[in-house]
Amino acid sequence: MRKIRKIEEKFFKIISQLATYSLVAILGYIIFVIFKNGFSSLSWEMVSEIPSGGYYYGGDGGVLNAIIGSLYIALGATLIAIIIGVPAALFINSHLMQRKRSQNTIRYILDALWGIPSIVYGAFGFTLMIYLGLSASLLAGILTVSFLITPIVIRSFDDVLSTIPRGLYEASFSLGSTRTETAVKVLLKQGFSGFITAVLLAFGRGIGDAASVLFTAGYTDNLPGNLDEPAATLPLAIFFQLGSPIPEVRQRAYAAAAILTLIILIISLSSRFVSRKYQKKALKF
């Protein structure tokens, strides 16, 4: 009996350890495959030029159109998400401070919104676009992506705000500040690291998402100059070029994927860095 228990203990410790390390291995493997394939075909031309005439048959050019388009869409959508999301998160934690029930209900709905897949947002964005008489364009793409990432901004900012001690609000109230002033002066200041991480998270999601811009942003070989022009995006550039029968074009998809992965890696590592740095600062208070 004792022996079986010992073996069981050892066995599960080892396989759970294996599972953990296998995750590290999977991540390493993914990044290795992406970078190995990508960097061999990555060139300065890839990131500095738009596709030339024969690009999709293996001709000259790069994916600058997609890089710029993605940046525009992600930046624009993040801006809208901040405009709507930040006040909403502040509201939950200032005006609704004493109403636990409403707070919980709102968080519940937001969490559910976070769970809606991007293809549904894409379909909705498409419907809205038709309804408003727009065509596939930078604007429609920005709007759709902003739907997708606003719940993310609110919930991750709210997560940080909700850890701010109550005493701080009460001190602010007792100094004669209104709720709105408290929200802006105390919460925004104290939760600044949360704000940054929320924005970075949302930006990362926005730049990497394909299904939402598939219907709405369109695709073009030119740099988007106006809100009503279509815009290429990196995820779609990867997706379309991967489907090509020509090996050179597929090579470019790998390169584009390496670029996108690099951007995402930088974003997630810097958001880690920011949150950790601010956490240390907050502890000193």
Partner 1 sequence: MIITLNDTIMKEEKIQLDFAEKLDFETKNKQIPENPAVTISNLNVWASKHHILKNVELKIPKNKITVLLGPSGCGKTTLLKSLNRLTDLDKELYVSGNIFINDEEILHAKKDIPEIRRKMGLLSQKPYPLPVSIYKNMTYGFKLKGIRDKKLINYNVELRLKEVGLWEEVKDRLHSSPDKLSIGQQQRLCLARGLTVKPHIILADEPTSALDPTSSKIIEDLFKKMKNQYTIIVVTHVLRQAHRLADNVVFMSDGEIFEQGSPNKLFKNPETQELKKYLVDGN
Partner 2 sequence: MRLKRLLYNRFGEIWMLSAITIILLFPLVIGIALFIKSDSIVSSYSLAELLFSSEWLPSEGKFGFLPFIISSIYVTILAFAFSVPICLLTAIYLSEYAPKRLTVFMQTVIDILAGIPSVVYGMWGILVIVPFVGETLAPMFGVKSHGYSILSGGMVLAVMCIPYILSMLIETFKTVPNGLKEASLSMGATRWETIKHSILKKGRPGIISAFGLGLAKAFGETLAVMMVVGNVVNITANPFDSGYPLPALIANNYGEMLSIPMYDSALMFAAFLLLIVILFINLFFRYFIYKSQKI
Distance CA 67, CA 58 (A): 19
Which residue, 2 or 166, is less far from partner 1 as judged by CB? 2
Instruction: Choose the one of partner 2, partner 1, none that binds residue 2, judging by a C-beta under 5 to 8 angstroms depending on kind.
Output: partner 1
Q: Per CB under 8 A, which of residues 178..217 are in contact with partner 2?
A: 178-181, 183-184, 204-205, 207-211, 214-215
The label of the residue with tokens 């869409």 reads 73
The region of 46-54, 71-79, 223-231, 264-272 touching partner 2 under the rule CB under 8 A is 264-272
Question: Among residues 69, 141, 194, 235, which is the contact residue for partner 2, using CB under 8 A?
Answer: 235
Q: What does the block give as tokens for 199?
A: 């924005």
**Assigned token pair, 51:** 């596709």
Ranges within 1-30 binding partner 1 (CB under 8 A)? 1-2, 5
Task: Please tell me whether residue 9 binds partner 2 under the rule CB under 8 A.
Answer: yes
For residue 42, the SS3 value is coil
How far, CA to CA in Å, does 180 sit from each of 76, 87, 93, 96, 101?
Answer: 26, 10, 11, 12, 21
**Which listed option, partner 2, partner 1, none, makes contact with residue 16 (CB within 5 to 8 Å by class)?**
partner 2
Compute the distance between CA of residue 267 and CA of residue 254 in angstroms, rounded to an integer: 20
- Residue 84 or 164: which CB sits closer to partner 2? 84
- Which residues within the stretch 16-45 sit at the binding site for partner 2 (CB under 8 A)? 16-20, 22-24, 26-27, 29-30, 33-34, 37
Residue 6 CB, nearest approach to partner 1 (Å): 8
CA atoms of 273 and 197, how far apart (whole Å): 9
119 binds, among partner 2, partner 1, none (CB under 5 to 8 A by kind): partner 2
User: Within 10 A of 168 (CB to CB), how many other CB atoms are there?
Assistant: 14
Name residues contacting partner 2, limited to 140-159 (CB under 8 A). 147, 150-151, 154
- As given in the structure block, the two tokens for residue 256 are 């584009």
Least separation in angstroms between CB 62 and partner 2: 18
Closer CB to partner 1, 101 or 280, in the complex: 280
Which of 141, 190, 15, 161 lies closest to 95 in space, CA to CA?
A: 161
Check residue 231 for interaction with partner 2 (CB under 8 A): no
Cα 48 versus chain centre, distance: 24
Residue 264 touching partner 2 (CB under 8 A):
yes
Q: Is the Cβ–Cβ distance between 41 and 251 less than 8 Å?
A: yes
Binding site for partner 1 (CB under 8 A): 1-2, 5
